[in-house]
Amino acid sequence: MSLLDDELASLASVDIDDRPYVPIAVAERYARPERTIRSETELGWLRRLAPIVANHRVTFTISLLTGLVALVLQVASPRVVMAAIDGPLRNGSTSSHSISFYVWVLVGLAVGRGVFGIINRVLLFYVAYGIENDLRVLMYERLSYQSFGFYDRVQSGQLISRANSDIRSVQMFLTFAPNLAISGFTFVMAFALMLTVSVPMSIVAIATMPIVAVMGIRMRQRIFPASWLVQERTAHVAMTVEENVSGVRVVKSFAGEAGQASLLAQRAQGLRWAGIQQALIRAKFAPAMEAMPRIGMGMVLLMGGWLAIDGKASAGTIVAFSAYVVLLQAPFRMLGQILMMSQRASASALRIFEVLDAPIEIVDRPGAYDLVSPAGAIDFDDVTFSYGQGARVLDGFSLHVEPGQTIAIVGRTGCGKTTLSRVLARFYDVDSGAIRVDGHDVRDLTLSSLRAHVGMVFDEPFLFSLSIRDNIAYARPDAPIGQIIAAAKAANAHEFIEHLEYGYDTVVGERGYDLSGGQRQRIAIARTLLANPKILVLDDATSAIDVHIEQEIHQALERLMRSRTTLIIAHRLSTIALADRVVLVGDGEVLADGTHEELMASEPRYGATLAGYVHDGEDLDSDPPEGSPATEEGGL
């Protein structure tokens, strides 16, 4: 049992305070939708979304049924009004008793329509927001499992826009489109009842409808490109805002506020132009589409008046027809808005599908098995790797690391040191060759088990906007507070955490920037130590820590690394001193291998490399010597 295990066990009963802490179980973090989108990319976007709608089929069906009931009650009202007018006149009775029956029927119809209409809209919004939630969960799940290569190609602002405004566009259409379908059914029922009253007046009432249909088709064809452009430029604005917020320190450091504001204004103007073009298309067609049914209503009233003069139509018939023409107008009043929303939703859905359809490059192979209780031996066997279509970063790289051994990886900036840790954990797959842990090709292992045994501490620590306790316990949400404290002590973080206002319950700001770089790094180290991996990768993990604190952390790390295989990507002599072996990397391969003393004595390139970034035990900010690669390590 390692020293950390002993320390964690001894501190397991320690309680930080009286406030209860109930971690969230991994299985309860989100509920995955029952169905996902259809995979056939040749299908229309609505057909591809059909399984998502089917997840809410019961509620959706009840919503449609209540909407149809409300519709029937609405369509029945004009016939009751016609009977209320023509009946007493035909019988020669105008007493209140003869009319009161019809009044109560109309009141009953209105109340029923109101009740069923409320149920319809409540359930419809429930379904729409449920679909929105399902799409967000599916998209975030897809993004969570995507490989590093995907994020190398796609801008984060584009993803944020698609996960928010695009999903909202789809949700809004799915909220209002069923109402249009119900309104369409209203048209059919109203026209059928109109035919039973007067065929000539019915034909006149719908005479303008074909013109509306043709205009709607033309509007749909023109508004789709504009809708796509609006969504694309909305994403550009979101990307600009996200980059400015994330990089605010860089912006302010170079007094770039005016330039960034100008860039945002430029992209906002582009969005404004696209939005205006969309509005102009709608303004060109929508008023005419809404005016045509009103022209039809005028024609109905004109013809009804002629028929009434000739005694071929009653007053009740004209009143009922006027009401039915209003019902006929409802779908066409909505048509322009729905067409615009449908095209915007179509463009948004295609942008969403681009994310959901993007293949996940790094996945478990068929037949992959778990890595169980590894000893920690690592072999890089003639590994070749490049990022995308770029130059080779690793070219025939071979290295063997014994279990429990600590290796310092040293090399000029851009030589591929960080890449070794990335391919070891299968953030990327190698182009050729193999990487093995205890003789197992990492591509034959399940990703979850491999990464559970390979702990990473990056040079730029990232903290979530959660409590310090939750940040340390990220890999083990159910870890007792005693173990969290033990890991913090091992990383020399316990003392400064205790001095914070709320101790381990202190919520850090975005990315932990309200803490110092050294404090963030120590919390990141504690997070990795609590996960207790067998293989530890320290990617220049003490670069943000001052020399005094670094020495204290090194004392803890020396004890903890005895039971682990550790790869240290080193830029300081003090960090290199922790290693049993030093491996000099250059040109994508191992240039030299030995102890620090052996390499200093026998390998001039090793001394030249150290001289490029170390002077008197401290990092230099100056450029590396002439001939060193200019590529930043972070890009590899």
Per-residue model confidence as pLDDT tens digits over 339-390 = 777 877 888 888 888 888 888 888 999 999 999 889 999 999 999 999 877 7
- 9 SS3 class: helix
Residue 280, Cα to own-chain centre: how many angstroms? Answer: 32
Q: What is the pLDDT of residues 546-567, one digit of tens each?
A: 666 667 667 666 766 767 899 9
Assigned token pair, 306: 């002629």
609 contact partners, CB below 8 Å, separation of at least 6: 410, 411, 412, 584, 586
SS (H, E, C) 31-62: CCCCCCCCCCCCCCHHHHHHHHHHCCHHHHHH
DSSP code per residue over 252-293: HHTT-HHHHHHHHHHHHHHHHHHHHHHHHHHHHHHHHHHHHH
| Helix or strand run (H / E) with residue 15 | none
Q: Give the residue, 333 or 38, on which the prediction is more confident.
A: 38
Whether 8 has a pLDDT exceeding 60, the answer reads no
CB-based contacts of 107-113 (< 8 A; 24+ apart in sequence): 109/73, 109/74, 109/76, 109/77, 109/80, 110/77, 112/69, 112/70, 112/73, 113/70, 113/73, 113/74
CATH 3.40.50.10860 is held by the domain 404-429+446-635: no
Distance (Å, rounded) from C-alpha 416 to C-alpha 418? 6
pLDDT at 579 over 70: yes
What local confidence, expressed as pLDDT, does residue 546 receive? Answer: 65
The predicted structure's pLDDT at residue 235: 74
Distance CA 491, CA 504 (A): 14
162 CB-side CA count, 13 A: 25
SS3 341: helix
- Looking at the predicted structure, is the pLDDT value of residue 43 above 50? yes
Q: What is the pLDDT of residue 93?
A: 55
Instruction: Determine the pLDDT at residue 511.
Output: 67
Tokens encoding 459: 């040079």
Q: State residue 336's pLDDT score.
A: 63
Q: How far apart are CA 558 and CA 567, in angstroms?
A: 13
Q: How confident is the model at residue 630 (pLDDT cuts 50, 70, 90)?
A: very low
Structure confidence at residue 247 as a pLDDT band (50, 70, 90): low
| 187: β partners | none
CA distance readout (Å), 306 to 89, 296, 313: 20, 15, 9
Considering the chain, what is the average pLDDT of its residues? 78
* Whether residue 12 has pLDDT greater than 50: no
Chain segment 83-135, per-residue pLDDT in tens: 777 766 555 555 555 677 778 888 888 899 889 989 988 898 888 888 888 88
Kindly tell me if the per-residue pLDDT of 2 is higher than 80: no
The pLDDT of residue 91 is: 57
pLDDT band of 466, cuts 50, 70, 90: confident
Model-wide pTM > 0.75: no
Taking alpha carbons only, the member of 557, 543, 602, 536 closest to residue 401 is: 536
What's the distance, CA 546 to chain centroid? 37
Tell me the mean pLDDT in the region 445-473. Answer: 87
Helices 315-356 & 209-246 angle (0-180, nearest 10): 40
Q: Are 360 and 388 in contact (CB under 8 A)?
A: no
pLDDT of residue 549: 66
Q: Is the pLDDT of residue 6 over 70?
A: no
Residue 323: CA atoms inside 13 Å, Cβ hemisphere, count? 16
CA 615 from centre of chain: 45
Q: Is the pLDDT of residue 436 over 50?
A: yes
Question: Can you tell me the distance from the alpha carbon of 182 to that of 71, in angstroms, rounded to the nearest whole number?
Answer: 7
The mean-pLDDT minimum among 241-245, 320-324, 627-631 falls in: 627-631
Whether pLDDT at 158 is above 70? yes
Instruction: Return d(Cα 146, Cα 508) in angstroms, integer.
Output: 27
Residue 301 has pLDDT above 90, yes or no: no
Cα–Cα dist 467/442, whole Å: 34
Percent of the chain beyond pLDDT 90?
12
First to last CA, the chain: 36
Q: What is the pLDDT of residue 409?
A: 92
φ and ψ at 500, to 5 degrees? -75, 160
- Which has the higher per-residue pLDDT, 307 or 346? 346
pLDDT score, position 636: 29
Q: What is the pLDDT of residue 329?
A: 67
> How far is Cα 111 from Cα 108, in angstroms, rounded to an integer?
5
Per-residue model confidence (pLDDT) at position 557: 67
Banded model confidence at residue 19, pLDDT cuts 50, 70, 90 = very low
Q: Mind listing the pLDDT tens digit for each residue in 333-352?
A: 666 667 777 877 888 888 88
Asked if 454 and 442 count as a contact pair (C-beta separation under 8 A), the reply is no
Q: Map residue 429 onto helix, strand or coil.
A: coil
**What's residue 290's pLDDT?**
72
- Please tell us whether the domain made up of 45-356 is placed in CATH 3.30.70.100: no
Residue with tokens 């090399």: 411
> Which stretch of 133-142, 215-224, 377-386, 543-552 has the lowest confidence by average pLDDT?
543-552
Nearest to 485 by CA among 1, 12, 3, 107: 12
pLDDT at residue 429, rounded to an integer: 92
Question: What is the structure's pLDDT at 424?
Answer: 93
- pLDDT band, very low/low/confident/very high, at 629 (cuts 50, 70, 90): very low
More confident residue, 476 or 541: 476
Domain definitions of the chain by residue range: 45-356, 404-429+446-635
The angle, 0 to 180 degrees and rounded to 10, between the axes of the packed helices 57-91 and 167-197 is 30
- CA 154 – CA 132 distance, rounded (Å): 23
Pick the more confident residue, 29 or 100.
100
Answer whether 572's CB lies under 8 Å from 617's CB: yes
Question: What's residue 478's pLDDT?
Answer: 83
